[in-house]
């Protein structure tokens, strides 16, 4: 069934309620590698409620899953998560009740047999006082849905990385059970847990969630350019470019230009495969 452009552009979900607490905040941090050294007091502040608990900024992208993608009418079996963009309107609380709205922020037709690009935007505010908390946008590549007569294009241009060598590189280990832990944040796709499902999809074993790699990159930047001050991050954008297998070592290349931090993630053991690209993080101020 072809995409109904008018219906897609009008699609909106409003005032969907979500809640999370300190347990979810600590689980998310653990799932992206925080606390690997339980004696590191800087990381303890993300995984222990007695240490002045902070929320990892990228946790925002798992807190308000409205399910709008399933209402778009696209062929769900042929979609890919292309990019993730996040804007933080204030520091993410460690616990809150949220009201979230989702809408289709953009749609582009690449042509018959070439697919479509759909931008799904979710905004969340505090249910207690209406304070805006965050906005995130998912870029969805709907590979089976091109040629519906929509506007041409491919979506927003990705951030261009600096051409100089990285200013620094942060290496992060991932655990073999990383995907089994990360899926407890809400994404229960068996591709990340069931070896048979992964094999049918063409992978040698279950792969790590793209958003887990996104969170690992956030941890790398918190460690290197923010001195573990989560309140400094104001945005966090990246493009997914290749899968990560649990147990891979991830090298995050980092460029600092004032309050803009550019980054990419690669797996050195697999010919430096770029797994997260065109990353950009805005900081509130120089730490």
Active site residue ranges: 187, 192
The strand pairing partners of 122, in sequence order, are 102, 136
The DSSP secondary-structure symbol of 101 reads E
Strands annotated E in the chain: 12-20, 79-88, 96-109, 116-126, 132-142, 168-173, 233-240, 249-257, 260-267, 273-283
Could you tell me which of 137, 143, 136 has the C-alpha nearest to residue 117?
143
3-state DSSP assignment of residue 257: strand
- Residues 154 and 108 sit within 8 Å (Cβ to Cβ): yes
Using CA atoms, how far residue 79 sits from 74, 167, 208, in Å, is 8, 35, 17
Task: For residue 268, give both structure tokens.
Answer: 């050195």
- Entry field: residues in the chain: 287
């Amino acid at each position: 069934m072809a995409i109904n452009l008018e219906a897609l552009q009008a699609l909106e979900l409003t005032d969907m309620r979500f809640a999370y607490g300190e347990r979810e905040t600590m689980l998310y941090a653990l799932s992206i590698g925080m606390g690997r050294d339980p004696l590191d007091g800087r990381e303890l502040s993300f995984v222990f409620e007695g240490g002045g608990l902070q929320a990892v900024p990228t946790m925002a992208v798992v807190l308000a899953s409205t399910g709008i993608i399933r209402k778009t009418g696209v062929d769900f079996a042929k979609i890919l998560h292309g990019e993730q963009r996040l804007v933080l309107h204030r520091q993410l609380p460690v616990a809150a009740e949220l009201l979230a709205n989702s809408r289709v922020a953009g749609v582009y037709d690449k042509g018959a047999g070439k697919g479509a690009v759909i931008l799904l935007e979710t905004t969340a505010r505090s249910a207690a006082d209406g304070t805006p908390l965050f906005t995130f946008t998912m870029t969805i590549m709907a590979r089976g849905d091109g040629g519906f007569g929509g506007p041409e294009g491919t979506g927003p241009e990705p951030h261009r990385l600096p051409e100089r060598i990285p200013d620094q590189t942060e290496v992060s280990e991932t655990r073999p059970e990383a995907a089994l832990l990360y899926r407890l944040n809400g994404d229960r796709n068996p591709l990340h847990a069931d070896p048979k499902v992964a094999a049918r999809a063409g992978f040698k074993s279950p792969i790590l969630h793209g958003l887990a790699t996104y969170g690992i990159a956030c941890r790398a930047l918190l460690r290197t350019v923010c001195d573990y001050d989560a309140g400094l991050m104001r945005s966090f954008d990246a493009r997914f470019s290749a899968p990560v297998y649990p147990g891979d070592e991830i090298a995050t290349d980092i460029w600092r230009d004032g309050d803009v931090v550019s980054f990419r993630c690669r797996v050195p053991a697999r010919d430096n495969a770029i797994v997260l690209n065109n990353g950009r993080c805005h900081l509130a101020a120089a730490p």
